């Protein structure tokens, strides 16, 4: 039965994403499988704020640099946390990837380009990006991804498992 599969897990800074990854590790990836996990974090692009009169609103270089630094730190933290969760399954290969853009498109694009067998993501999210993009990432991926999509919802009464 064991065969090589590539499973893309979209991770973000939210607890639901952590739960989705944990659930996937427990229920889909098994210890003796030859699965490769591809942990993908999508950073939000620069958001251009438009003033009401349409003239646009420009940030100074300082502010942009600070925002960039923060975005990179968040990306690192998310990926590190996700990798830590995967360490218990020693036979599973883990790859990580950080991309920039609208997570709805990026997740589907990476899934197709890498020929993954399955996409796993939380039903809510996408943390930081949630503020920048309207519309549900999971809905979009379920409709547009060419491979099976597993949407994991964190039970309301569950503590944030495996986050420590």
Q: Which is nearer to its own copies, 88 or 95 (CB)?
A: 88
Residue 28 in contact with its own copies, rule: CB under 8 A: yes
Helices (H) and strands (E) in the chain, counts: 5, 5
Supply the minimum distance, in Å, between the C-beta of residue 123 and its own copies: 6
- With b for 16 or more beta-carbon neighbours within 10 A and e for fewer, the 138-150 pattern comes to bebbbeebebebb
Residue 149 in contact with its own copies, rule: CB under 8 A: yes
Residue 161 in contact with its own copies, rule: CB under 8 A: no
Residue 117 in contact with its own copies, rule: CB under 8 A: yes
Residue 63 in contact with its own copies, rule: CB under 8 A: no
Answer for which of 5, 71, 97, 130 binds its own copies (CB under 8 A) is: 5
Please say whether the dihedral angle defined by the alpha carbons of residues 133, 161, 1 and 34, taken in this order, is positive or negative. positive
Q: Which is nearer to its own copies, 1 or 52 (CB)?
A: 1
Answer for which of 74, 79, 114, 142 binds its own copies (CB under 8 A) is: 142
DSSP state of 97: E
Selection from 141, 154, 162 nearest residue 9 by Cα: 141
Structure tokens given for 65: 């640099």
> Residue 12: which residues within 8 A CB-CB, separation 6 or more?
41, 42, 78, 103, 122, 125, 126, 127, 128, 129
Residue 69 in contact with its own copies, rule: CB under 8 A: no
Residue 114 in contact with its own copies, rule: CB under 8 A: no
Residues of this chain that interact with its own copies (CB under 8 A) are: 1, 5, 20, 23, 27-28, 30-31, 117-118, 123, 136, 138-139, 142-143, 145-153, 155-156
């Amino acid at each position: 039965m064991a065969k090589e599969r590539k499973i893309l897990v979209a991770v973000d800074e939210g607890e639901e994403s952590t739960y989705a990854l944990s659930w996937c590790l427990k229920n889909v990836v098994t210890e003796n499988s030859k699965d490769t996990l591809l942990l993908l974090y999508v950073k939000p692009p620069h958001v251009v704020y438009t003033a009401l009169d349409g003239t646009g609103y420009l940030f100074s270089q300082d502010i942009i640099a600070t925002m960039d630094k923060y975005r990179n730190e968040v990306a690192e933290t998310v990926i590190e946390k996700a990798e830590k969760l995967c360490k218990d399954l020693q036979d599973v290969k883990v790859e990580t990837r950080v991309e920039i853009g609208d997570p709805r498109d990026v997740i589907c694009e990476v899934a197709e380009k890498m020929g993954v067998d399955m996409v796993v993501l939380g039903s809510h999210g996408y943390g930081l990006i949630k503020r920048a993009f309207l519309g549900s990432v999971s809905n979009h991926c379920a409709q547009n991804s060419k491979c099976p999509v597993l949407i994991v919802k964190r039970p309301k009464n569950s503590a944030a498992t495996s986050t420590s």
